[in-house]
Amino acid sequence: MIIVSAFKSVPPFARGLVRDLRVRWALEEAGLPYEQKLLADGEKDSADYREWQPFGQVPAYEEDGLRRATEWLIAALNSVEPAIQSLAAIDLFYAQEEWAKLRRPGAEEMVRNRLAAVQTALGNDHWLTDNRFSAGDLMMATVLRILRHTDLIEKAGLGDYLARCEERPAFQRALDAQMAAFAA
């Protein structure tokens, strides 16, 4: 059985846009039946739900009790990267702008929250999924690396995880190939 989480209630501006729509649509296209798990106010931040969706967001997806590496891949790109990219843009492109100075504390706080959720989900494991390196780790590492101009990864307790990803020989070969192109 497939279960998809969604909010029981959202403000009018979000109705019809909430991201569980993508999964519902895909399942309708595929003709696959599913159950919805509707979250009451505040339930998204409960320990139980965070266990399922570490960022307290919808949708969360379950199929016969399974979680998949692709969920982490999407989490990296759409739960973590937007916050990190927003901070990186402030620091790398707009640091001298008055609005950027005003916006930076809030942007950094959002990044800290997202990194804390990643750290909690990772716990003492080596990798995000099933204790083996997956596409989710690959994508998460490339997202976390965007913060290399800060100490936020270390402070979030994710330094060892990122180092573990970057120590992989395949990553080193990929990085070397990119850097060689710049040196040429």
Ligand X SMILES: N[C@@H](CCC(=O)N[C@@H](CS)C(=O)NCC(=O)O)C(=O)O
Is 120 a binding residue for ligand X by CB under 6 A? The answer is no
CB contact at 8 A, 58 and 36:
no
- Using CA atoms, how far residue 81 sits from 62, 89, 177, in Å, is 23, 12, 24
Cα 128 → chain centroid: 11
Interface with ligand X (CB under 6 A), residue total 10
User: Binding residue for ligand X (CB under 6 A) from 4, 6, 39, 75?
Assistant: 75
Contact positions with ligand X (CB under 6 A) in 24-63: 56-59
Q: Which is nearer to ligand X, 25 or 93 (CB)?
A: 25
Is 19 a binding residue for ligand X by CB under 6 A? The answer is yes
Amino acid at 158: L
Is 128 a binding residue for ligand X by CB under 6 A? The answer is no
Q: Can you tell me the distance from the alpha carbon of 180 to that of 36, in angstroms, rounded to the nearest whole number? A: 49
User: Binding residue for ligand X (CB under 6 A) from 18, 100, 135, 146?
Assistant: 18
CB contact at 8 A, 81 and 143:
yes
Joined together, the tokens standing for residue 90 give: 């402030």
Q: Which is nearer to ligand X, 60 or 88 (CB)?
A: 60
Q: Which is nearer to ligand X, 67 or 168 (CB)?
A: 67
> Applying CB under 6 A, which residues contact ligand X?
18-19, 56-59, 74-75, 78-79
